């Protein structure tokens, strides 16, 4: 029997999530998720195949994965993932501790992703225990879905809030936002649409 392709299974799981339970939470996310779903349906396998890449923070993934079917699909695809960091973030402006516990990987996007999708970016953000991802902004519209509980999220001047795992958090373009991990690793699914080229920059 042919084994299922882990990358394709991961993409299908994200599509199912965005079309179902991922609609819970911030209602502002729903229109964007419809557009992202359409783009994911048109995504094509990256050619040549993406070369996996590990960073210090990627070692935290396994313990952070939720004990769900979605978490199991991510685990199957983990050896394929190409982890990276925003080039605007360095030890000089973020600190060595942050850089050792921060990373992201993209399942679909215009570059360095398992699937090519020029108008969106979809992937995972990982933050090590008790790390603070300070105020930052980007021109792309964004939706986060925490996959772990306990993290705190803040948008603009709104109060800090906790968001249940799987519920959407919507960030309009250029609105400053920040995140704090609890005493365990924070893992969140995210998607961008619009300007997928311009990386986030600190605003604080």
Residue 50, pLDDT score: 83
pLDDT digits 0-9 by tens, 60-106: 999 999 999 999 999 999 999 999 999 999 999 999 999 999 999 99
Domains in the chain, number = 1
Is residue 142 a contact partner of residue 155, using CB atoms and an 8 Å limit? no
Establish if 38 belongs to a structural domain. yes
Establish if 56 belongs to a structural domain. yes
Establish if 1 belongs to a structural domain. no
Establish if 170 belongs to a structural domain. yes
Interval 165-175 mean pLDDT: 96
Interval 170-177 mean pLDDT: 97
Establish if 29 belongs to a structural domain. yes
CATH number where 169 lies: 2.60.120.10
Is residue 167 a contact partner of residue 145, using CB atoms and an 8 Å limit? yes
Query: What is the domain extent for residue 147?
Result: 6-202
- Residue 106 CA to residue 108 CA, distance in Å, equals 6
| 20: nearest Cα among 186, 168, 188 | 168
The predicted model scores a pTM of 0.95
């Amino acid at each position: 029997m042919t084994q299922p392709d882990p990358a394709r299974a991961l993409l299908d799981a994200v599509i199912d999530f965005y079309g179902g339970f991922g609609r819970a939470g911030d209602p502002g996310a729903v229109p964007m998720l419809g557009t992202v779903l359409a783009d994911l349906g048109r995504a094509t396998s990256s050619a040549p195949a993406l070369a996996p890449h590990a960073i210090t923070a990627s070692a935290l993934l396994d313990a952070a994965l939720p004990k769900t079917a979605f978490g199991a699909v991510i685990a199957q695809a983990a050896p394929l993932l190409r982890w990276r960091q925003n080039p605007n973030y360095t030890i000089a402006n973020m600190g060595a501790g942050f850089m050792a516990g921060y990373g992201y990987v993209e399942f679909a996007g215009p570059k360095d992703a398992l699937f090519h999708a020029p108008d969106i970016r979809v992937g995972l953000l990982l933050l090590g225990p008790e790390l603070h991802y300070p105020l930052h902004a980007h021109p792309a519209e964004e939706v986060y879905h925490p996959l772990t509980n306990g993290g705190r999220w803040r948008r603009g001047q709104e109060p800090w809030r906790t968001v249940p795992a799987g519920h959407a958090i919507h960030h309009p373009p250029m609105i400053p936002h920040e995140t704090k991990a609890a005493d365990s690793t924070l893992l969140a699914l995210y998607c961008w649409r619009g300007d997928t080229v311009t990386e986030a920059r600190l605003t604080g």
